[in-house]
Amino acid sequence: MAINKEKILLTAYEKAKGHRNRVKERFLKEGPETFTDEDLLELLLMLNLPFKDTRKLARELLSHYKTLDNVLDAPLEDLSKFKGLKEKGTLPLKVVKEVARRYLKAKALKTEYLRSPEEVYNYLKYEMQNLSRETLKTIFLDAKSKVLGIETLFEGTITESAIYPREIFNKALEKKAVFLILVHNHPSGDVTPSKEDIRLTKNLILAGLLLQCKIIDHIIIGKNGYFSMAEKGIIENLEKEILSILK
């Protein structure tokens, strides 16, 4: 009986090993773009769970969290509640998220110029879309729209009274920036700008005009998308309103 049990376990191990090797070979031969979210999650979990059915676990995680990014954003204590997924097993998930965040930030800093709000969103979404607190980042650009730096300048409730334009424009002068892009998140997920968002943007546009440092966009990032004040014409309308008063 003991021999049969060992034989069954060995057969199951060899079968699982063969499946894992085939998944890895397919990734290398066909490329990551051919993998579904479930495939990628299964492969990630394999890295630290050598004797588990990671396909089943990947399916359970996606069923619970709905999307791959939700799985990567889930707290460790929540992930550890899944059978077979203790802290050790979650390590690849947290590592890959941090690698992605740093990669996208480094890529943004190396880019020659930012061409669209969508590009800004793609660079910053993994860093900002799931934050529990509002965070304001400023992207500093030169005259050719080359990125000079990305700074986190405020964390908390983004309001006119909470943000000090002096801090933003001191940084802009330090970096010799000509253009600024404001980016902040809405933890609620709703990217619609509030009255406070519009008021803050107007004040910063005014300060920028006086200091010859132009606010070219204010982008709000939510769970599933973004809102660009430049794309919606809000920046242009605010500028016109300010200039009509200054005349």
The C-alpha atoms of residue 116 and residue 108 are separated, in whole angstroms, by 12
> Quick check: 10 pLDDT over 90?
no
Q: How confident is the model at residue 170 (pLDDT cuts 50, 70, 90)?
A: very high
* pLDDT tops 50 at residue 175: yes
Q: Any bridge partners for residue 151, and if so which?
A: 138
Q: Is residue 223 over pLDDT 90?
A: no
- pLDDT tens track for 73-113: 888 888 888 877 876 778 888 888 888 878 777 776 666 56
CA–CA dist 221, 119 (Å, integer): 12
Question: What is the Cβ-side half-sphere exposure of residue 77, based on CA atoms within 13 angstroms?
Answer: 0
156 has pLDDT over 70:
yes
Sequence letter at residue 54: T
3-state secondary structure of 231: coil
- What tens digit of pLDDT does each residue of 39-79 get? 999 988 888 887 778 888 899 999 998 888 888 888 888 88
Distance, CA of 205 to CA of 216 (rounded, Å): 9
- In sequence order, the 6+-apart residues with CB closer than 8 A to the CB of 223 are 129, 130, 189
pLDDT at 9: 44
- Cβ-in-10-Å burial (0-12, 13-18, 19+) of 86 comes to middle
Burial of 111 (0-12, 13-18, 19+ CB in 10 A): middle
Average pLDDT, the chain: 84
Q: What is the pLDDT of residues 25-36, one digit of tens each?
A: 888 888 888 899
CATH code that applies to domain 113-246:
3.40.140.10
Position 15 confidence tier, pLDDT thresholds 50, 70, 90 = low
Residue ranges of domains in the chain:
2-101, 113-246
**Closest Cα to residue 217, out of 232, 228, 203, 204?**
228
Place of tokens 């700074």: 151
pLDDT tens for residues 138-149?
999 998 888 898
Q: Once rounded to an integer, what is the mean pLDDT over residues 8-20?
A: 57
Is the pLDDT score of 161 beyond 60? no
Under the banding of pLDDT at 50, 70 and 90, the label for residue 202 is very high
pTM: 0.66
Point out which residues pair with 242 in neighbouring strands: none
Torsion sign (Cα): 215, 220, 226, 232: negative
